[in-house]
Structure 1
């Protein structure tokens, strides 16, 4: 990855080198293909790059005493740490177990109790199902890829894994939008139109269709290739049968347009809409505070129960926003100015951001279950007192 500091990106597949990167020695002159350097940028870990440097060094070591050969590469090789790799594997494995068990239990609790099948709870189940999908598909692949220096999972998973992650994030945020809109309608317009269970099932179907459509480019532009390894000009190439999974877009402009649109549709705009909904709910509840406090004991208990529901649902949105913020910032900076990220800190920063984003699958189940139970006990409280 240090070599990329000597290059300027022209488009998705073309790089202009500011200086040559090759080995000049008494034994031979080797040039590492440019495609391989490009491929390094698409993979979080660079252990293959380390191995190549180590192999070249070892093969020429016996000739160094009798030659004037030297590396033209001035940047230091970024070391990899066994302890950091172990930490990532343990962390991802823990998230997989906690997220899978927690979200599965939440889905079972709601689906097995008929009285809990209301509009909001259906959206909650949909949110948990998207988290389960991440736990089943994305996290295991991440664990395996962390252990390996290449892609060993085949072309299907090369395309499906980013597709599923993108789809899951879209389903999650859109489910939160629908929950916020439903609560907003119930509290701000208690005597107006209210969605019923049938409407919620239709909305869930529409969400998944939209999410699939938004994620389609990953199926089209993620490819499995071994050309960077196959084209290495080495006397002995142990990497010729290695494959990597990378994105290959028609142009850099297309990629930037898609990733920027994705940021707006998956994060910025939905969260802005949710913020407006819950802010208006907060203002309305604040105005009713005195009336609720003067209400009878039973009514006051119901009002507090519904207030807890809104607080729990809002906390889920806040957790999602905080978990995904670092990765969105990282991707935006990397897309528009990758040189701003220190070369040797790239892997650590990316891993920390991705790990934080995946943590959202673990933090959802408990508050969602609490909200679902409150909704079972106090399903229509603001329909009763909405005229105040």
Structure 2
């Protein structure tokens, strides 16, 4: 989770700050409240801005496509909308606030302890919701394709599942609300326009509590979802491959027929192939996007006791890779869906 930044900002166990010590170094260290120098500072701002704009635009289109047409409000599409909403939170809340944490040395949002707690909790919640939603979509597609004779999910059932996703995500993110707190150091340096500096930190009651939570997060937010998604899509792939073999055999048998059945079968086979490629792409993109950030967080909790500009830039790269899923999801679950693409075209081309 990106909330590892609050642990890197300051360590209560290893750093003891007095007002006099802060005063002596403050002019050099804090008159320019930046962790990252040039040109990385402005490059990160540009890259994050691109991710935010593309992600917010794509996910807004997904929400609008379903909101404007009653026939689009199916149980299956509700999962995609839920994913889009969580990704909007990633774009509009998590990314901007994480960028601020990456670039600044100390907490820039005043004496607001609840804001320190709630921001970290919301960041973690949105990541959990996004990941669990992707898993739920995979399981829903698995049931529809592998077991087509079973009763399909109804809207009320989808609402119950989505409510459960948000509740579970809040519970998983609750350690952020419990452990995060705001600390202040009064320095009273009017010449710099600084009366105090603040840090939003994680104060874990256990010595290695942060490490345990990182391992738990790695398992729940990455390893378990990627395992479920991969197995579900593998089963779907095998099922569609079997149908494709049957379709190809049917086309060969009827190749001399004068009716249009072989044409329809070939088109069906091409759709199955496209679906297979899409499923493989979803699993690969999910795995590639989130792996660096999870590994970095675990490494930071185990081995890092301080921060340098190089570490912050490395973290930013890993974080942007994870957040890039908020840009790819509207493409994978929206644009590559014929119904969604039609709605997108109507929205964008409407005069």
Using structure 2 for the length normalisation, give the TM-score: 0.78
In structure 1, the residue matched to 2:160 is: 202
Contact 1:292-1:300 within 8 A present in 2 as well = yes
**How far, CA to CA, are the matches of 2:88 and 2:53 in structure 1?**
10
1:280 is matched with which residue? 235
Report 1:217-296 matches (<5 A). Answer: 217-227=175-185, 241-293=196-248, 294=250, 296=261
Segments of structure 1 that go 5 or more residues without pairing to the other structure are: 1-11, 16-33, 38-47, 57-77, 378-388
Aligned match for 1:167, one of 98, 113, 125:
125
Tell me what 2:326 maps to.
361
Instruction: Answer with 1 or 2: which has the greater Rg.
Output: 1
- CA distances 1:61-106 after superposition (whole Å, capped 9, x unpaired): xxxxxxxxxxxxxxxxx99422100011111122111111111011
Paired residue for 1:315? 281
Q: 3-state SS of the aligned residue for 2:153?
A: coil
Secondary structure (helix, strand or coil) at the match of 1:251 reads coil
Paired residue for 2:302?
Answer: 336
**SS where residue 241 of structure 1 aligns?**
strand
Matched, 1:178 2:143: no
RMSD: 3.3
Please list the CA deviations of residues 233-287 of structure 1 after superposition, one character each: whole Å capped at 9, or x if unmatched.
x9x9986511111111112233222221121111111110111111111112222
C-alpha spacing 1:328/1:55, structure 2 compared with 1 (3 Å): closer
Once the two structures are TM-superposed, the CA of residue 192 in structure 1 deviates from its matched residue by 2.6
Instruction: Give a deviation string over 1:334-367, Cα, whole Å, max 9, x none.
Output: 112226x995631221111112222221222122
1:193 positional shift: 3.7
- Distance apart, 1:132 and its partner CA: 0.6
Equivalent position of 1:4 in the other structure:
none
Q: Which runs of 4+ in 1 moved over 4 A?
A: 48-53, 236-240, 341-344, 374-377
Distance 1:117 1:273 in 2: 26
Change (3 A) 1:281 1:142: same
- CA 370–312 in structure 1, closer or farther in 2 if over 3 Å, else same: farther
Give distance in 2, aligned partners of 1:376 and 1:362: 16
Whole-Å Cα distance in 2 between the matches of residues 300 and 55 of structure 1?
Answer: 67
1:149 to partner: Cα distance: 3.1
Q: Is the 8 A contact 1:126 1:175 kept in 2?
A: yes
* 2:88 matched residue in structure 1: 132
- Is the 1:176–1:317 Cα contact (8 Å) retained in structure 2? no
* Structure 1 residues 301 and 122, CA gap change in structure 2 (3 angstroms): farther
- Check whether the contact 1:327–1:353 (CA below 8 A) recurs between aligned residues: yes
After superposition, the Cα gap between the structure-2 partners of 1:303 and 1:114, relative to the gap in structure 1 and judged at 3 Å, is: farther
Aligned to 2:54: 98
Which fold has the larger relative contact order, with Cα–Cα distance below 8 Å and residues 6 or more apart in sequence? Answer: 2
Q: TM-score of the superposition, structure 1-length normalised?
A: 0.71
- In structure 1, what is the equivalent of residue 13 of structure 2? 14
